[in-house]
A and B are shown apart, each in its own frame.
Chain A
Amino acid sequence: MQVFRYSQARTVEGAVRSAGTLIAGGTTLVDLMKLNVLQPEAVVDINGLPLDKVETAAGGGLKIGALVRNSDLAWNTTVKEKYAVLSEALLSGASPQLRNMATTGGNLLQKTRCYYYRDTNYACNKRKPGSGCSAMDGFNRIHAVLGGSDHCVATHPSDMAVAMMALEAVVHVSGPKGERAVELEHFYLVPGDTPDKENVLGPGEMITHVTLPALAGGTRSHYLKLRDRAQYEFALASAAVAVQMNGGQIARARVAFGGVGTKPWRSREAEKALEGQSAGADAFAKAAEAALAGAKPLQYNGFKVELAKRALVRTLSVVTA
């Protein structure tokens, strides 16, 4: 690991003003610093900032501080009762130890698990722009079928962000030019020809909290994660769904996928295919087809297209049962 300068921030302003890489839980940053994938010259510890609360937001939603640990959020009573999809997604991610460390803000900003990004011996446009993509003709079983480009097909690894996508979360950011709010749906960028640019955060900006809007009464939500082993593994395909029923009809549906996209993947196509339809195998299958219509499989990840479809159908069956 390269040497770095360490300091602690006591205020959001101090953290924003600094030129350093911010560290909270450290579970991504320390890992990638050991691999020399990230080599910050200054690391600013933000764990002393007062951003560790889950509170009721104005309008009845939830305000989640950037430093709330994944395990605390998963076990929060309100989250378990009202936003089940978020609790389930969090508990399906990483290990209990990592969830005790990892934070809400850090989870949103975690880096891809692409083998070639994590190994400096390989070309990677995300790690070293212009160097090429080793996954394109490499072992690309875990890579994205949605949102990829000729320059990058790395998946975003978060489960939490997928659930938040289905809950229409808003990311609140503080920076040199003040505060702003960005809908999570518009927070991440697809790789295009700049895979190193993963989100809309500008220089010096940091996430301070995330808000979840209040859900309409009777909304049911669920997260299903499919992977190579039952625990402690990243998703090959996952589905997050929040559905409000009106009798046997789907009045409102929010759908997002993990493990298959270059960003946590909200599917407005699936939502459109579901809303106004009678809940049932026919509508679910059509939604799944619509969601994956634009899929572009690589040599080894074609199975993800079918896996994602089935994940959505199963998840919809659970929430509408």
Chain B
Amino acid sequence: MDQPKLPLVDEVEDKLNQNGQKPVRGGLSRRAFLGHLGAAGVVATTGPLARGAQTETVEKEEKAAVSGAVAVTLSVNGKDHKLMLEPRVTLLDALRDHMQMFGTKKGCDHGQCGACTVHVNGRRVNSCLSFAVMHQGEKITTIEGLAQGGKLSPVQQAFLEHDGFQCGYCTPGQIMSATALLREPIGADDDAVRAAMSGNICRCGAYNNIVAAVQQARGSRNA
């Protein structure tokens, strides 16, 4: 499936140059900016993007566009979502507000709590600190994508068995972090797990049970 082409910097600059609006860093006028938004919309209609994991099913197709929105296709849990997004929409807000996937939580919204943790190409990241338009062509996995065929993943199962949560708000982020951790070169002991899980804050203080759950999942993976 073709993915929409996002604006390339040279095309943007050339367009501004043609209009006599060569901007300087930090010095672009509001008029020049608004004038350009139309151009970005035009650019963003044809051709595939170079970076390209592609999936087969289209989960949804967003048509309504706010001013300044660009067409973006995001692959989430194996399904394509054709969206119209303003560039300032974070990956977190795109998931929650545009794809109605509420499993990924918004905590601090500044990369300090880890509630928004998702995987991009298999690596855990803070979805609140990344613009969604930057992730076309990448493989995004959220908490909704872990269970397969109605069966919980080993990490999800371990969190249940060890009561690795209380209120549950941080849990999706904890589980996404723990799942990625299984593939990272960290030490075997509990201290290594605590360090590797330090980017996920739990206000309820379920840390001991979280560490136990992670260690069980690591064992089950090795078994």
Contact = CB atoms under 8 A, between A and B. Distances in A.
A45 B134 contact: yes
Interface string B163-192: 000000000000001001100110000000
Interface in A1-44: 1-10, 14-15, 17-21, 23, 26-27, 30-31, 33-35, 40-44
A101 B130 contact: yes
B83 to A, nearest CB: 14
Interface size class of B (residues with CB under 8 A): 35 or more
B33 A100 contact: no
Interface stretch (B9-17, B95-103, B151-159): B9-17
Nearest to B201: A232
A6 B199 contact: no
A82 B110 CA distance: 34
B110 A34 contact: yes
Interface in B2-21: 6-13
Given A6-B131, A19-B24, A48-B51, A96 B70 contact: no
A286 B130 CA distance: 46
Interface string A169-199: 0000000000000000000000000000000
A97 B23 contact: no
Listed residue (A7, A35, A47, A97) with the most chain B CB atoms within 10 angstroms of its CB: A97
A75 interface: yes
Contacts of A246: none
A5 B117 contact: no
B25 A204 contact: yes
B86 A96 contact: no
A18 B13 CA distance: 7
Given A5-B40, A19-B13, A75 B185 contact: yes
A98 interface: yes
Given A1-B88, A231-B194, A34 B109 contact: yes
A244 to B, nearest CB: 28
B162 interface: no
Nearest to B194: A231
Contacts of A59: none
A26 B130 contact: yes
Contacts of B68: 3
Nearest to A80: B185
B7 A7 contact: yes
A247 interface: no
Contacts, number: 145
Interface stretch (B73-81, B121-129, B139-147, B213-221): B121-129
Contacts of B12: 5, 7, 18, 42
Interface residues of A, number: 47
Contacts of B11: 7
Nearest to B110: A31
B8 A21 contact: no
B64 interface: no
B151 to A, nearest CB: 26
Listed residue (B88, B109, B111, B128) with the most chain A CB atoms within 10 angstroms of its CB: B111
Nearest to A32: B110
Contacts of B196: 96
B133 interface: yes
Contacts of A94: 199
B37 interface: yes
Nearest to B109: A34
Nearest to B198: A231
A20 B198 CA distance: 34
**Interchain residue pairs A-B with the least CB separation, the first 3:** A95-B199, A6-B87, A231-B198
Given A6-B40, A8-B9, A100-B125, 15 more contacts: A1-B88, A5-B87, A18-B13, A19-B13, A21-B26, A23-B134, A26-B131, A42-B23, A44-B9, A47-B134, A96-B198, A97-B124, A98-B126, A98-B129, A231-B194
5 contacts: A26-B131, A34-B110, A95-B114, A95-B198, A101-B129
Interface of B: 6-13, 22-28, 33, 36-37, 40, 50-51, 68, 70, 86-88, 90, 109-111, 114, 117, 123-126, 128-131, 133-134, 177, 180-181, 184-185, 194-196, 198-200
